[in-house]
Amino acid sequence: MNITIPDEILTSAKMSEDDIKLELAILLYQQKKISTGQARRLAGMHLIQFQKEMSKRGVCVNYDVEDFQADIETLKRLGEYRSRGSRGDRFSN
């Protein structure tokens, strides 16, 4: 679905297309209509970036199962995920 917002509205509101997406994402998230993952994708942001933006606005950040699973997948892709047995190796001298 595409939504067209007239340029004069964006100009009058002093907002960009990205600003509108972020505002909509935060609004829908606050109303519990979409998850954090869906909201950050709508806003076009990485999870941490989106959470920081919500924090700046005083919006409570909920960390749900979808977010946790997404974080695990990201860590696996980056090669930083370690099993419990090898986690301590990162901190040894």
Tell whether pTM > 0.75.
no
- What is residue 91's predicted lDDT score, i.e. its pLDDT? 46
pLDDT in tens, 35-61: 888 999 999 999 889 989 999 999 887
Which one-letter DSSP state was computed for residue 14?
A: T
pLDDT in tens, 6-46: 999 989 999 999 999 999 999 999 998 998 889 999 999 99
35 near 14, Cβ under 8 Å? no
Asked if residue 85 has pLDDT above 50, the reply is no
3-state SS, residue 5: coil
pLDDT in tens, 60-83: 877 778 778 888 888 888 885 555
Name the residue among 39, 86, 88 with its Cα closest to residue 59: 39
